[in-house]
């Protein structure tokens, strides 16, 4: 393999771009099947109620209605990720507003919806559990009275009613460490429920053939997770289930498990016809998934010189009505709670709890945005107390390659310090940080606007679970690559094709990517966890390597030399080392393999994450859901904001987002992930929050729940790619999907604190919350001092 294959590091255009720009890409709801029925659902009006009776007679009587299903019509087979607590339709009890209670299939959508509205449900309302506090108080009402009886895989240790999981990840001796700290900061941070707001609402088409095989086309992040859950829900062997993937309009974790596929499959089974269900935006908001809101209590201590000594963190995630990813979100949050710093004494504990609100699940960041908002605020609070520059304090404590993550794993590559210095230098940090900003007295000159600049540093992982790939050499020497990595719109297909092209030293135009269909694609756990480039990319390199070996063998036979004397040359040729004219094209080799000798050339690669396991001798690890996840990725953001003291609105002026991706396979795709993640994180910081009143969602629409659009953020969102090659990664590459979101909110909050002197510990920092804080500070101290500026740098220091 040449040192830098042509396809690696190139800003190549994506194959799906032209169709998407032209509106020609076909999403699930664009597809129809002969005789297809249309489905509609009826959701629960109550956050907690017993279903006494359901009268479906009027719905069934409507002409065109082919099936009406309720929970009583379905087998009592619960599924879940760790706790098997979910059913396709509410089984006897409803646990959140919007939970599907009944479903209709009819010859047209209007009839299906009209029929759903005719279903009469008799409820006995029950007292709901609507907050973390209510879930955990003494005498709390259990959201799942049958929790003890549910199957669990594994059982993750709950102690109180409504606890889905309780975990700990600790090192050192935190209790005795406080005495060694010169400064300790302490705070409680609250983060909201964010909605995924993928552009394409959840959609699925299911049908059975006459031999009993089920085919489901749907928006999903893993055909295999969907296949496995359908197998359980419908009591079918996986070999009788095909899951296919049309174009997907975003997912962000919200389509990582099953969504409505089991329900649509039951409707197809009941009617014997293909059935399509696409949720309305409101139904999707109310019945799908969200980010876990959380309450984070943190205490962090340091020495006068800035050396971090101890951290005690306790987090409670609101998991909503069903457990789904909650135990893993909690576990991953704890793994990130030390932050990318060396802190010898850490006690990191947490719980995930049930409430009668929409289930929470995986969402870009997976428990990390919650803890990192709190912990990165504390680093700045410590810097303020110690009179240290926030970037310097971070650099002083930053982990490095060869160092240890909490839990003992070796950090195999680490560009964190470079991320910090690059973001600092590109942003003009030092000048902006020390410039006398607009304190209260300066509002008159600045029109009431105060500027500030803030930083965050953070980590994530990109290595977990299993994946595989096949590479087939076609008769003409071009290649078909197959992986199980669904492309959610983020460019997975393009990046994996580039890795394949790089591994075979071929032009990208010679790589065909097979659609992800469980009937043909090799296994991949999921497009999630920022893992596709790193994990699936490694499988692609393995598979391509197996193809190279076969090509070399054929060439050696043809040229009658040793395989060691054969080299693969750019452009799809194999030749004798040192003899430029002795070479043969992949096409001729493939023809030989197909028709004369050896058989068609196929290579495969497969792996399950193989990094170091956690060291349970070093760390106290209780009820942890993972044996090994890792390969750490790093980033640092610097954000400049302007706070309007008239309205409280925070505007982002510019951001510099430095990310260590090991190696950027396609820098344009990396930059897109960085900018997109930052924008979604800015929404988390400033704007987005699903809200309930008395258990009723009050903003389940895009009129009321807003996300940032192109005009709301500046053009100056500058991605900075840092490349510290990861030895185990494909061409050194690591993941980038989630970290850009993780670092946004803390950097913005730190910038707001710099601008105003106020530490906001609750997200989102809406204009009203910021104005409340400004007003409260003005009342406390009418001569409010200038914001907490760093000390002027000492010349020569």
Partner 1 sequence: MQIFHPTTVDEVIGLLAAHDEARCLAGGQTLVAMLNLGLLDPPALISLRKVAGLDRLIRHADGGVTMGATVTQAALAAADLPGALAVLGEAAQQVAHPAIRNFGTVGGALCHADPAADLPPAFVAADARMTAIGPDGERSLSAGDFFVDYLTTALADGEILTEIRLPPPPPGSVGAYLKFARVDGDYATVSVAVTMTLENGVCRAARIALGSCAARPLRLDAADAALADTGLDADSVARAGALLQEAADPLADMRGTADYRRRIVPGLVARAIGAARAKAEAPA
Residues that bind partner 1 (CB under 8 A): 447-448, 646-649, 687, 691, 698-699, 704-709, 711-712, 767-768, 771, 775
Cβ atoms 351, 316 nearer than 8 A: yes
Tell me how far, at minimum, the Cβ of 768 lies from partner 1, in Å. 4
Tell me how far, at minimum, the Cβ of 703 lies from partner 1, in Å. 8
Closer by beta carbon to partner 1, 649 or else 789 = 649
Closer by beta carbon to partner 1, 448 or else 466 = 448
What is the Cα Rg of the chain in Å? Answer: 28
Tell me how far, at minimum, the Cβ of 699 lies from partner 1, in Å. 5
- Determine the Cα–Cα distance for residues 284 and 260; give it in Å rounded to an integer: 10
Cβ atoms 82, 625 nearer than 8 A: yes
Closer by beta carbon to partner 1, 424 or else 450 = 450
Q: Which helix (H) or strand (E) holds 504?
A: helix 492-504
Largest CA distance in the chain: 90
Provide the residue count of the chain: 797
Bridge partner residues of 218 (DSSP): 204
Distances (CA, A) of 482 to 495, 666, 757: 13, 19, 53
Closer by beta carbon to partner 1, 449 or else 754 = 449
- Spell out the residues 6+ positions from residue 548 whose beta carbon is closer than 8 angstroms to its own: 1, 503, 504, 568, 603
- Determine the Cα–Cα distance for residues 184 and 609; give it in Å rounded to an integer: 38
DSSP 730: G
Tell me how far, at minimum, the Cβ of 88 lies from partner 1, in Å. 26
Q: 């199957």: which residue's tokens? A: 151
Tokens (6 digits) for 521: 């694609």
Bridge partner residues of 69 (DSSP): 103
Closer by beta carbon to partner 1, 549 or else 775 = 775
| Phi-psi category of residue 210: left, alpha or beta, with phi > 0 → left and psi -120 to 50 → alpha | alpha
Tokens (6 digits) for 494: 């393009």
Tell me how far, at minimum, the Cβ of 129 lies from partner 1, in Å. 24
- Determine the Cα–Cα distance for residues 276 and 426; give it in Å rounded to an integer: 50
Phi, psi of 474 (to 5 degrees): -80, 170
- Determine the Cα–Cα distance for residues 178 and 427; give it in Å rounded to an integer: 35
Tell me how far, at minimum, the Cβ of 100 lies from partner 1, in Å. 19
Closer by beta carbon to partner 1, 614 or else 705 = 705
Tell me how far, at minimum, the Cβ of 122 lies from partner 1, in Å. 24
3 state SS of 12? coil
Closer by beta carbon to partner 1, 26 or else 706 = 706
- Determine the Cα–Cα distance for residues 332 and 326; give it in Å rounded to an integer: 10
Closer by beta carbon to partner 1, 703 or else 797 = 703
Distances (CA, A) of 477 to 491, 542, 564: 25, 19, 22
Closer by beta carbon to partner 1, 558 or else 707 = 707
Closer by beta carbon to partner 1, 557 or else 712 = 712
Closer by beta carbon to partner 1, 432 or else 649 = 649
Tell me how far, at minimum, the Cβ of 130 lies from partner 1, in Å. 19
Q: 């009050």: which residue's tokens? A: 698
Closer by beta carbon to partner 1, 50 or else 706 = 706
Closer by beta carbon to partner 1, 668 or else 762 = 762
Tell me how far, at minimum, the Cβ of 707 lies from partner 1, in Å. 8
Tell me how far, at minimum, the Cβ of 459 lies from partner 1, in Å. 30
Tokens (6 digits) for 427: 């942003």
Tell me how far, at minimum, the Cβ of 116 lies from partner 1, in Å. 13
Tell me how far, at minimum, the Cβ of 688 lies from partner 1, in Å. 10
Tokens (6 digits) for 50: 């017993």
Tokens (6 digits) for 768: 């009203």
* Residue 15 CA to its chain's centroid (Å): 24
Closer by beta carbon to partner 1, 22 or else 710 = 710
3 state SS of 192? coil
Q: 């530490």: which residue's tokens? A: 759
Tokens (6 digits) for 206: 């299911």
Across the beta sheet with 163-171, the strand order is: 183-191, 294-302, 308-320, 345-354, 163-171, 620-622
Tell me how far, at minimum, the Cβ of 60 lies from partner 1, in Å. 22
- Spell out the residues 6+ positions from residue 110 whose beta carbon is closer than 8 angstroms to its own: none
- Determine the Cα–Cα distance for residues 190 and 293; give it in Å rounded to an integer: 8
- Spell out the residues 6+ positions from residue 494 whose beta carbon is closer than 8 angstroms to its own: 12, 14, 15, 16, 487, 666, 669
Tell me how far, at minimum, the Cβ of 152 lies from partner 1, in Å. 38
On the CB side of 266, CA atoms within 13 Å amount to: 25
- Determine the Cα–Cα distance for residues 673 and 75; give it in Å rounded to an integer: 42
Query: Is the torsion defined by CA of 158, 161, 164, 168 positive or negative?
Result: negative
Closer by beta carbon to partner 1, 129 or else 682 = 682
Bridge partner residues of 299 (DSSP): 186, 312
Tell me how far, at minimum, the Cβ of 263 lies from partner 1, in Å. 23
Closer by beta carbon to partner 1, 366 or else 705 = 705
Tell me how far, at minimum, the Cβ of 523 lies from partner 1, in Å. 41
Tell me how far, at minimum, the Cβ of 766 lies from partner 1, in Å. 8
Tell me how far, at minimum, the Cβ of 687 lies from partner 1, in Å. 6
C-alpha dihedral (594, 597, 599, 603), degrees to nearest 10:
-100
Closer by beta carbon to partner 1, 80 or else 648 = 648
Identify the burial level of 711 via C-beta atoms within 10 angstroms of its C-beta, where 0-12 means exposed, 13-18 middle and 19 or more buried: exposed
Question: For strand 37-43 and strand 100-106, is the pairing parallel, antiparallel, or unpaired?
Answer: antiparallel
Nearest to 551 by CA among 563, 537, 541: 563
Closer by beta carbon to partner 1, 523 or else 708 = 708
């Amino acid at each position: 393999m040449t040192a830098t294959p042509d396809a690696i590091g190139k800003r190549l255009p994506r194959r799906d771009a032209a169709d998407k720009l032209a509106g020609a890409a076909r999403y699930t709801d664009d597809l129809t099947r002969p005789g297809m029925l249309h489905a509609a659902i009826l959701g629960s009006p109550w956050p907690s109620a017993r279903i006494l009776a359901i009268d479906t007679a009027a719905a069934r009587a409507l002409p065109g209605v082919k099936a009406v299903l309720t929970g009583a019509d379905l087998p009592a087979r619960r599924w879940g990720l760790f706790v098997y607590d979910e059913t396709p339709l509410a089984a006897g009890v409803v646990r959140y507003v919007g939970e599907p209670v009944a479903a209709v299939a009819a010859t047209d959508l209007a009839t299906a919806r009209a029929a759903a509205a005719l279903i009469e449900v008799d409820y006995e309302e029950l007292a709901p559990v609507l907050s973390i506090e209510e879930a955990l108080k003494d005498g709390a009402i259990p959201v799942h009275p049958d929790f003890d009886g549910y199957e669990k895989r594994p059982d993750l240790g709950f102690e109180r009613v409504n606890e889905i999981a309780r975990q700990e990840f600790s090192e050192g001796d935190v209790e005795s460490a406080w005495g060694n700290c010169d400064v300790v900061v302490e705070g409680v941070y609250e983060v909201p429920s964010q909605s995924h707001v993928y552009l394409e609402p959840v959609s699925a088409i299911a049908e059975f053939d006459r031999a009993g095989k089920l085919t489901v086309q749907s928006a999903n992040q893993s055909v295999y997770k969907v296949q496995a859950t359908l197998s359980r829900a419908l009591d079918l062997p996986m070999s009788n289930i095909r899951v296919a993937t049309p174009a997907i309009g975003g997912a962000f974790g919200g389509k990582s498990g099953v969504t409505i596929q089991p329900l649509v499959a039951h409707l197809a089974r009941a009617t014997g016809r293909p059935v399509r269900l696409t949720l309305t935006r409101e139904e999707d908001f109310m019945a799908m998934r969200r980010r876990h809101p959380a309450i984070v209590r943190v205490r962090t201590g340091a020495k006068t010189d800035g050396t971090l000594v101890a951290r005690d963190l306790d987090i409670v995630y609101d998991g909503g009505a069903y457990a789904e990813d909650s135990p893993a979100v909690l576990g991953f949050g704890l793994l990130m709670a030390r932050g990318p710093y060396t802190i010898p004494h850490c006690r990191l504990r947490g719980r995930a709890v049930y409430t009668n609100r929409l289930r929470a699940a995986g969402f870009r960041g997976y428990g990390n945005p919650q803890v990192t908002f709190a912990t990165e605020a504390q680093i700045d609070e410590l810097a303020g107390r110690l009179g240290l520059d926030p970037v310097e304090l971070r650099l002083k404590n930053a982990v490095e390659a060869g160092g240890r993550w909490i839990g003992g794993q070796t950090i195999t590559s680490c560009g964190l310090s470079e991320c910090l210095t690059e973001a600092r230098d590109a942003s003009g940090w030092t000048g902006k940080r020390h410039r006398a900003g607009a304190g209260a007295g300066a509002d008159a000159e600045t029109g009431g606007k105060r500027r500030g600049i803030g930083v965050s540093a953070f980590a994530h992982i990109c290595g977990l679970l299993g994946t595989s790939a096949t590479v087939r050499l076609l008769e003409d020497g071009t290649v078909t690559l197959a992986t199980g990595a669904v492309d959610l719109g983020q460019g997975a297909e393009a990046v994996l094709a580039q890795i394949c092209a790089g591994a075979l030293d071929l032009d990208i135009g010679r790589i065909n990517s097979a659609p992800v269909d469980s009937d043909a694609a090799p296994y991949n756990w999921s497009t999630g966890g920022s893992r596709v480039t790193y994990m699936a990319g490694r499988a692609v390199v393995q598979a391509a390597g197996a193809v190279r070996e076969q090509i070399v063998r054929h060439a050696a036979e043809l040229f009658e030399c040793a395989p060691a004397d054969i080299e693969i040359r750019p452009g799809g040729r194999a030749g004798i080392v040192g003899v430029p004219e002795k070479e043969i094209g992949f096409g001729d080799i493939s023809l030989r393999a197909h028709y004369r000798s050896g058989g068609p050339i196929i290579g495969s690669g497969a792996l399950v994450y193989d990094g170091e396991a956690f060291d349970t001798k070093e760390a106290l690890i209780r009820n942890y859901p993972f044996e090994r996840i890792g390969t750490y990725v790093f980033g640092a953001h610097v954000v400049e904001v302007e706070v309007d003291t008239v309205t409280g609105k925070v505007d982002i002026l510019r951001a510099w987002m430095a990310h260590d991706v090991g190696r950027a396979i396609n820098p344009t795709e990396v930059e897109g992930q960085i900018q997109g993640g930052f924008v979604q994180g800015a929404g988390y910081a400033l704007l987005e929050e699903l809200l309930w009143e008395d258990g009723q969602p009050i903003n389940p629409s895009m009129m009321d729940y807003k996300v940032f659009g192109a005009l709301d953020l500046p053009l100056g969102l500058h991605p900075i790619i840092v490349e510290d090659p990861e030895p185990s990664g494909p061409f050194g590459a690591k993941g980038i999907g989630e970290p850009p979101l993780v670092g946004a909110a803390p950097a913005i909050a730190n910038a707001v604190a710099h601008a105003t002197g106020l530490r906001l510990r609750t997200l989102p920092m809406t204009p009203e919350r910021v104005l409340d804080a400004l007003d409260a500070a003005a009342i406390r101290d009418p001569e409010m001092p200038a914001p907490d500026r760093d000390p002027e740098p000492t010349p020569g220091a």
